[in-house]
Every structure is written in C-alpha cells, then in structure tokens.
Amino acid sequence: MQIMNSSKCLWTAATMLLFGRHCQGLAMLHPMSGKTQCREPFWVRLQVDKCLMKLRRRLEKAINMARRSYKKERFIPFLLLGPALLMMLLIVAYPLFQALKLSLFDASLLRPDRAKFIGLANYIQIVRNPPIFIRSLVNSLIWIVGSVTLQFIVGGCWGGRLF
C-alpha cells in the first residue's frame, strides 16, 4: 500500500466533514486513483458502498426537491403580475367595449336615454360619405393636440417651471 499524499489527506478530511463518521471508509477512496487506499477489511468497503448509495439517494432527493421548487417559483411572477394585468385589462377593455356598443346606437349626449339602435348604419355612412370621416379625423386631431398642449402647460406651471 502507498502512503497517502497531501491531496488524499485533504480528500479524507473533506469527506469526513461532509458525510460524518459513519462514512469514514469513503474517505479512503481517492477520486484520482479509483482504488481503495485503506487497510480495513472487505466488510468496511461494503459499508462504503452503503454510504455511497445513501449519498446518491440524498442527492436525487435534493435534485427532485429543487426541480419541484423551480416549477413552483416559475409561476410566482405571473401571480404577482395578475392583479396589475387584470386592472389594466379592465381599464382598457371596458371603455373600448362601451365605445363599440355606443357606435351601434344613434345617441345624443344631451339625451342619452333616447338612444336608438341603428346597427352598422354609422359605419356604412362613413364608407359612403368620406368627407364626414375626414372631418371627424380632423376634429379628433384638434382635440388631441389641444388637450396634450394644455396638459403640458398646466403641468409645467404646476411644477414651478414652464417646460
């Protein structure tokens, strides 16, 4: 038998620290040589095999637990984003569907209770009479530019500086 060099002594110490005294025989197995460098009888080597099997089971169990926790953790971002996405959907979807519903009626803002269902007649009128559509686009553009400009002015004055 060869005398263990310093790397084998380190291996022995590390194995003893990691796996405890019940796996002392495992400490004598050096990863480089692959041979048992111990003077114990054969039954001790069987104990080493038992320790290796225990270690393998522990590692497999730890790996399976890590996989399960990873699967659980994968859904955490979606759970945290869920309420915000739901609110965003409600804030965007409700007015959108209300506008689509209103476009199917002949309604006046002065008398909303007298709205009359006309179906797709508003859309047919836009296709048949393009100047009305162009005029509505110009009105929308004026409204957008005016409201954004006013917001900039009020926001700049409110913050204590203009732009």
pLDDT digits (tens, 9 = 90+) for 28-86: 554 444 554 555 555 566 677 777 788 888 888 888 887 777 777 778 888 889 999 99
Q: Which residue has the tokens 């400490």?
A: 27
| CB-based contact 104:117 (threshold 8 Å) | yes
> Which band of pLDDT confidence, cut at 50, 70 and 90, is reported for residue 124?
very high
CA contacts within 13 A on the Cβ side of 134:
4
DSSP state of 110: S
- Contact between 25 and 45 (Cβ < 8 Å): yes
Integer CA distances (angstroms), 40 to 5, 29, 33, 107, in order: 18, 12, 17, 98
The more confidently predicted of residues 11 and 79 is 79
Q: Residue 18 has what pLDDT?
A: 55
Model confidence, pTM: 0.43
High-pLDDT (> 90) share of the chain, %: 32
Candidate ranges 12-16, 45-49, 102-106, 150-154; pick with highest mean pLDDT: 102-106
Backbone angles phi, psi at 35, to 5 degrees: -110, 155
